[in-house]
A and B are shown apart, each in its own frame.
Chain A
Amino acid sequence: MKIAVLLKQVPDTETKIRVKGDASGIESDGIKYIISPYDEFAIEEAIKTKEKSAPSEVIAVSLGPVRVVDAIRTALAMGADKGIHIDDCGLAMDSFVTAKVLANALKNENFDLIFTGKQAIDDDASQVSQMVAEFLNVPQLMLAEKFELGADKKSATIERSVGGGTKEVYTVEFPAVIGAEKGLNTPRYASLPGIMKAKTKPVTTLKASDLVGETKPKTTNVNFRLPPERAAGKVLQGEPEQLAQQLVKLLREEAKVI
């Protein structure tokens, strides 16, 4: 089986985000990058699926500047076999262009399965996976909490939550795009021998400028703003009865939530 994982490198959640002076984006220096956590679930599921369906291979694909090769190397250290780095060539990209470039890179590779995260934790757009599936004309199932490979290795059963504890269960024929939700698995740590082996695994570089064709962004970021600083909390004092009264009053009149 041929399995792809789409990875996005995002700022570490502990990074202090600073907006550029002209509000056109965020300052990139000083940012530590990580693999978007949902994509880590995708890597793990891809490797697990490979282990259950030998001979198979996992190919980690990431679009972005040269630094994203680190994300690919981490996936290789976890157990992926090959990497594809698509250099963004500094092109203006939105989810639409990103998905187009990825789909064009994947198009001729005949993947049986494409794992992705349900969304990337930087812009939280949750659009790229679905659009990639659309451009490749294959089914997609997002928010997968359980993935079970069919006995025929040509289909899978996927479970996802739809709120209130209700679960949906789907079966899907390959090729398909699967978007990983938290809880799908516990990603393994890159082991020391894995890190050593990753050095020798091949990473191919493609150019987004060769893949983008006539596609132009459909959306443009016009402005970036930090969320307003959270105001300090209020501590109420007094007897429980008074406290309850004060709390209800504040919730009604100040917070206006009840």
Chain B
Amino acid sequence: MSLSYDLSSEHEMLRKSIRDFAEKEIKPVRQKLDEKEEFSYDLAKKMSELGLFGITMSPEYGGQGLDTLSYIIAVEELARVDGCQAATVAAENGLGIGPIYNFGTEEQKRKYLPSLCTGEKLWGFGLTEPNAGSDAGNSETNASLKNGQWTINGSKIFITNAASKITGGVTVQCVTGNKGDSGKEISCIIVEAGTPGFTAKEMHHKMTWRSSNTAELYFDNVQVPEANLLGPRGNGYRQMLATLDGGRLAIAAMGLGGAQGAYEAALQYSHERKTFGQALNKHQVIAFKLADMAMEIDLARTYLYKACWLKDQGRPFKKKRRLRNSIALK
């Protein structure tokens, strides 16, 4: 009989490699990038060389073929040092590459995935609108099919990785019809960068994730071929929910990595700073707080890794994910 909480040596090696990378390459520039609200093409390139795009996707399409836990450890280690780079990687894997990989036709996968998995290009997933966020089904952006062409009109907001110089395009959630009583028919459509009528504008003055690339998208009679439909017509809402389910693991990893980084900073400061004649961590109230932090982080990590394990086993992981999100994001 055996139960092991040890990570495999590959997972340990991966963590060490990404931690070294984050410490040496990201840490020295993170503050400046944040202050200047600058997306770093240099870091994006270095992260792509590390293989941080297409982490769980099959090598057949240029992916790295790793498991969910590897992906989550990677995001966690990036977030420990910089949430923005973690956001770039998590959004790209989960929202940019994920939907094409999971729902795209063979042709779409062969066309788009290789250059996304090398990180040569980035891709956005356009769901949110000024009047559709938590209630994503409220989308107003619409697409109509005529003579083998979709015509798209509307706008999206807060779309990650969608306005960079290397953005190859976006997957857009559109209303493609009316299903009578059951409401709107929602579908996802691929729009390549540079398509006439499509503009992506970089958003500024964010309070966090400031060096991650966030865009407003405008669609003014944008025409794309019928074949740009992602998966079956009318499946857009389901695709989006499935995408966000997986994405939540990465969001939890960001919460966890951020908490770990904050804890380490607090711990270090508590050793350095002296008040009333002794180091902060020698004051019992502070020591207890640090112990609580360490415990909650460990709890969140254990839950998150278990959810990854369940997902990799093909078992339901949503309950774990929700419990864990509420711990990690606290």
Contacts and interface: CB of A to CB of B under 8 A. Distances in A.
A74, A196, A198: most-surrounded residue (chain B CB, <10 A): A196
Give the dominant DSSP class at A's interface.
Answer: helix
Interface stretch (B44-52, B100-108, B252-260, B261-269): B44-52
Given A70-B13, A73-B9, A77-B13, A192 B20 contact: no
Interface residues of A, number: 14
B64 A192 contact: yes
Contacts of A11: none
Contact of B50 (A192, A196, A199): A192
Contacts of B16: 74, 190
Contact of B17 (A70, A195, A199): A195
B218 interface: no
Interface of A: 70, 73-74, 77, 189-196, 198-199
Nearest to B12: A70
Interface in B1-37: 9-10, 12-14, 16-18, 20-21
B10 A189 contact: no
A77 B70 CA distance: 15
Give the dominant DSSP class at B's interface.
Answer: helix
B27 to A, nearest CB: 14
Contacts of B74: 192
A189 B9 contact: no
A194 B13 CA distance: 11
Contact of B51 (A70, A191, A199): A191
Contacts of A191: 17, 49-51
A195 B21 CA distance: 15
Contacts of B21: 189
Contacts of A77: 13, 17
A14 to B, nearest CB: 12
B85 to A, nearest CB: 14
Given A192-B50, A193-B64, A194-B51, 11 more contacts: A70-B13, A73-B9, A77-B13, A189-B50, A190-B14, A191-B17, A191-B50, A192-B70, A192-B74, A198-B10, A199-B10
